[in-house]
């Protein structure tokens, strides 16, 4: 199977990526057993997949609610103007905001979509007025509050 212009992935590579997508903490020995290889070739394959960029990083998915950040918000942003410097300044400023955990440049009615975690509504209000409000390139915002997260796999369907 071909997945990029320079790399070929075989069925074992795909199986490794699927298993890691479900549990990145799996031991190499256990991963090897799942794909019917010994640990050494699995280790080498993982290093190749990492080096070629198929595996960007390994993470722990934290429970925001248990960490007192139970309010998730999607915030749509319109910039004041569409120009390279303003967009670049916006991204630079947003990267400094710890409440923003994801930022996407999007098409449509808005320019950017932010995923934000806050402790509660008061915390989010403070964030909007005092942090997001200080980003000079923003023309307008529109917030959507998440009532329930029904699916979040962090995985790609291979």
Residues 47 and 86 in one domain: no
Residue 157 located in a structural domain? no
Asked if 91 contacts 125 with a C-beta cutoff of 8 angstroms, the reply is: no
- How far is residue 91's CA from residue 93's CA, in Å, rounded to a whole number? 5
Read off the pTM: 0.86
- How far is residue 18's CA from residue 52's CA, in Å, rounded to a whole number? 17
Measured CA distances, 81 to 85, 90, 139, 145, 156 (Å): 10, 11, 8, 26, 34
Task: Per residue of the chain (158 residues), give pLDDT as tens.
Answer: 556 545 689 999 999 999 999 999 999 999 999 999 999 999 999 999 999 999 999 999 999 999 999 999 999 999 998 888 899 999 999 999 999 999 999 999 999 999 999 999 999 999 999 999 999 999 999 999 999 999 988 888 88
CATH (domain of 10):
1.10.10.10
Asked if 75 contacts 114 with a C-beta cutoff of 8 angstroms, the reply is: yes
């Amino acid at each position: 199977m071909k997945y990029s212009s320079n790399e070929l992935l075989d069925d074992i590579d795909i199986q490794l990526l699927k298993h890691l997508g479900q549990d990145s903490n799996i031991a190499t020995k256990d991963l090897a057993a799942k794909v019917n290889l010994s640990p050494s070739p699995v280790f080498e394959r993982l290093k190749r997949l990492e080096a070629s960029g198929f595996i960007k990083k390994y993470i722990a998915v934290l429970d925001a609610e248990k960490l007192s950040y139970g309010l998730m918000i999607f915030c749509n942003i319109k910039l004041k103007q569409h120009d390279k410097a303003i967009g670049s300044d916006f991204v630079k400023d947003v990267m400094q905001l710890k409440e923003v955990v994801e930022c996407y440049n999007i098409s449509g009615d808005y320019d950017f979509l932010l995923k934000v975690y806050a402790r509660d509504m008061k915390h989010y209000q403070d964030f909007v007025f005092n942090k997001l409000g200080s980003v000079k390139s923003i023309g307008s915002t529109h917030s959507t509050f998440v009532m329930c997260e029904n699916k979040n796999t962090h995985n790609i369907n291979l």
